[in-house]
Each structure stands twice: as structure tokens, then as C-alpha cells.
Amino acid sequence: VAVLVPFALLGTFLGAYLTKRIADAWFFKLVQTGLFLLSVKLIWDAFSG
Amino acid sequence: MEFNQYLVLASLAALLIGMSKGGLPLVGMMSVPVLSLVMSPVKAAVLLLPLFVISDAVGIWLYRKHYSLVNLRILVPAGVVGVLVGWFTAAMISELTIKFLIGLVGVGFCLQTWFKRGQSETPKPASLPKGLLWGGVCRHSNDFVCHHQFGQDRPVSKFESVYRG
């Protein structure tokens, strides 16, 4: 966990920075697409496992 | 499971958690599913929990002047109940079932977001029944479904990182 802490802290400041500088709509469509694909993979794993 | 693969995905998950607390809440939704690709979802949640706590503290500090007291009064008690219910039920559910449920909620969230008609850009007033229900569900199910279900139809904003945990 200690190894991951710097990534989390970096991400927090990165998120605050990006919030002010990027278009929400485009970004959230990208994230939603990623979440959808991940979720389908998890459902597939659950059935095949 | 390759160590490097695990480390890369864990680092990515940590970065996503941090970004969610920094003002991009939807990004955090992917952290547990990403790690669940290479390990048990329960272990993934356990591994990431300290990071959620640390990044929560930073996120609260970043947005200490921007919060909704009305929403906090509803969501905090509901969240505490949700955590307790999750604590009692986690050991009763199999790993594959949890994977399936996480996937199902993720797919459901995306489909609902993409195909829901009549979404308003204007926030609705806080609703106590909906807030209690979805606040509890959020904390129980690790923050997957409450944003749109909460009923306020607010556009995703930087303030959400504070009261969505």
C-alpha cells in the first residue's frame, strides 16, 4: 500500500488540475466507455470462472 | 498473476482514486474493477481502502470551502449504515458473485447514463428518502450507483468528491 500512496496523492492533485482544464462531457464519455468494457469483462469472468 | 501486471494495475487504480477525490468522481468507479481483473474484488477493495482514506483527506482539504451541508446531513448517516451492512454481508457472498455484481452495476450505470431521457442540467433539491437509500447503497456497494440514482440529476461536479467519499 505504501508504494501506491504517492500515486493516489498525485492523482488527487491531477484530478483537481484537470477539473479546471478539460471538457467534462468528452472526458466522462471516455470514462463511461472504459467502465462499461471493464464491467462486461467482470461479468464474463464471473460466468466463465 | 504477474507481479508487474499487478503493480501496474494497482498503481493505475491508486491514480484513479486520487483523481476521483481531486474532482473527477466517475474515474474512481474504475479503481476496484481494474484491480478485480487480477485479484479478488474483496482483496482489491481491502488493498485500496487506505488509499481511499488518504485521498479523501486530501480531497476534503482541497474542497473545504465548497460543500453541501444539506446533502452531508443525509448522506453521512446513510453511509455509516451502508458500511455496517457491507461489513456484515461481505463474508457471505462468493468472489464470483461479487465480480458479477460489480460488473452488473457498472453496465447498468453506463446504460442508464447513456439512455436515460430528460436529464436536467439544473440540480433538484436534496431528497431525504432518496438520499438515505442511495447514500446507504453507495457505501455498501463502494460508490457505484448513487450519482444519477440519487435523484438530484446534478451535473457531475468537483463538489461531489467531498460528499461522495
Rounded to whole angstroms, the Cα distance separating B51 from A8 reads 6
Given a contact cutoff of 8 angstroms between Cβ atoms, the answer to whether B74 and B134 are in contact is no
Q: Do B24 and A35 touch (CB under 8 A)?
A: no
Confidence of residue B56 (pLDDT cuts 50, 70, 90): confident
pTM higher than 0.80 = no
Rounded to whole angstroms, the Cα distance separating B99 from B151 reads 26
Note the pLDDT tens digit of each residue in B95-153: 888 888 888 888 988 888 888 766 666 677 778 888 887 777 777 665 443 343 344 44
Amino acid identity at B1: M
Instruction: State yes or no: ipTM above 0.90.
Output: no
Which residue of A lies nearest to B32 if distances are taken between CA atoms? A38
B128 CA: distance to closest CA in chain A (Å): 27
Comparing CB atoms, the residue among B18, B33, B106 nearest residue A8 is B18
Q: What separation in angstroms does the CA of A14 have from each of A9, A17, B52, B78, B83?
A: 9, 5, 16, 30, 28
Give the pLDDT score at B155.
Answer: 42
Sign of CA pseudo-dihedral B149, A35, B103, A7 = negative
Position of cell 436534496?
B126
Within 8 A of A11 by CB-CB distance, chain B residues are 14-22, 55
Within 8 A of A31 by CB-CB distance, chain B residues are 24, 26-27, 29-30
